[in-house]
């Protein structure tokens, strides 16, 4: 017997394919195996819809509701945070508002345009040895005016383990961690600083990568999925609460136009997140 526990929407790098490749392997190489799978694998974050169709003709496939592990162990305050982030990223505002209303009282999520204000909020929330830090997308290359440089070397050991008197630690709110450094790990409180690489528009999300002196569209579906999943990872790293920073942008900087940021902030505000 082989038991596989596979999270959804965690593929953030080339070569990571998630649950779809497990099912593809079963279909390709093990046609006689008995397969028991969750009945929820059609959800968007699993990206397994196409390959699941191939299993329909197999007589030895059983779907069971009990195989879906719906309770997150990441946050002891709320098991619905992952659901909220899924709804947010899938552009389901009505559902997201309902979920947010159920978790606000025990898992605070705030939004702001001001990074210093977000830092103050983090420090006010943390008690004792509770850990906090700033997390950003690895594509967030135009946060440099805010002293956030994603290409700067960061040592995860110092960032996650050193104390409040060490400038290399997350506590100092100077070095930042990307989705690659925090995947599979958590902090008590996080500040997610949102750049123009993942933009909300009236047509949905737009995916961008900064190359040279300008933003360039990401057109490859797989890379678009990686970017969306990067924000899924970033937005689910906090055990107790988080603040999301969407900068104002700068009219004098063609790479940081306010229209790159404003719609994203307005979308989050419309979902019901409290502003500070």
Final residue belonging to a domain, choices 6, 35, 67: 67
What is the DSSP code string of 137-170?
-TT-GGGGGGT--TTS---HHHHHHS-TT-TTSG
Residues counted in the chain? 276
| 177 DSSP 8-state letter | B
- Is residue 196 classed as helix, strand or coil in its secondary structure? coil
Identify the domain containing residue 142 by its residue range. Answer: 81-275
Indicate whether 11 belongs to any domain.
Answer: no
Contact, 190 vs 134, CB < 8 A? yes
Question: What is the pTM (predicted TM-score) of this model?
Answer: 0.81
Instruction: For residue 242, give both structure tokens.
Output: 């988080």
Q: Give the number of domains in the chain.
A: 2
Q: Do 60 and 121 fall within a single domain?
A: no
Residue 2 maps to a domain: no
Q: Is residue 59, in this structure, part of any structural domain at all? A: yes
pLDDT in tens, 114-173: 999 999 999 999 999 999 999 999 999 999 999 999 998 899 999 999 999 999 999 999
The whole-number pLDDT of residue 274 equals 96
pLDDT at residue 48, rounded to an integer: 61
Kindly state whether residues 57 and 88 are assigned to the same domain. no
pLDDT under 70 in the chain at which residues?
8-17, 42-51, 70-79
Is residue 90 located within the same domain as residue 184?
A: yes
The token duo for 56 is: 């329909």
Contact (CB, 8 A) for 12 and 139: no
Considering the domain architecture, whether residues 145 and 54 belong to the same structural domain is answered as no
Q: Are residues 116 and 246 in the same domain?
A: yes
The predicted structure's pLDDT at residue 19: 76
Q: Which SS3 state, helix, strand or coil, does residue 36 take? A: strand
Tell whether 99 and 122 lie within a shared domain: yes
């Amino acid at each position: 017997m082989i038991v596989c526990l596979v999270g959804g929407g965690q593929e953030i790098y080339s070569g990571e394919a998630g649950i779809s490749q497990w099912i593809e392997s079963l279909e390709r190489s093990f046609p006689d195996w008995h397969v028991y799978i969750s009945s929820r694998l059609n959800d968007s974050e699993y990206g397994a819809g196409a390959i699941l169709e191939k299993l329909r003709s197999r007589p030895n496939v059983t779907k069971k509701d009990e195989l879906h592990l719906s309770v997150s162990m990441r946050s002891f305050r709320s098991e619905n945070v992952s659901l909220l982030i899924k709804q947010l990223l899938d552009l389901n505002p009505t559902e997201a508002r309902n979920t947010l209303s159920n978790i606000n009282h025990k898992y605070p999520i705030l939004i702001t345009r001001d990074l210093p204000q977000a830092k103050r909020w983090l420090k006010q929330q943390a008690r004792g040895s509770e850990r906090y830090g700033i997390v950003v997308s690895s594509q967030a290359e135009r946060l440099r005016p805010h002293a956030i440089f994603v290409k700067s070397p960061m040592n995860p050991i110092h960032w996650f383990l050193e104390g409040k008197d060490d400038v290399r630690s997350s506590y100092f709110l100077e070095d930042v961690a990307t989705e690659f450094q925090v995947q599979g790990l958590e902090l008590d409180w996080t500040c997610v600083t949102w750049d123009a690489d993942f933009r909300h528009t009236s047509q949905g999300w737009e995916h961008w990568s900064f190359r040279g002196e300008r933003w360039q569209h990401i057109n490859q579906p797989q890379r678009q999925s990686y970017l969306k999943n990067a924000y899924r990872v970033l937005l689910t790293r906090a055990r107790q609460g988080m603040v999301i920073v969407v900068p104002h942008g700068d009219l004098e900087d063609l790479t940081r136009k306010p229209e790159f940021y404003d719609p994203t902030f307005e979308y989050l505000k419309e979902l019901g997140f409290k502003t500070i």
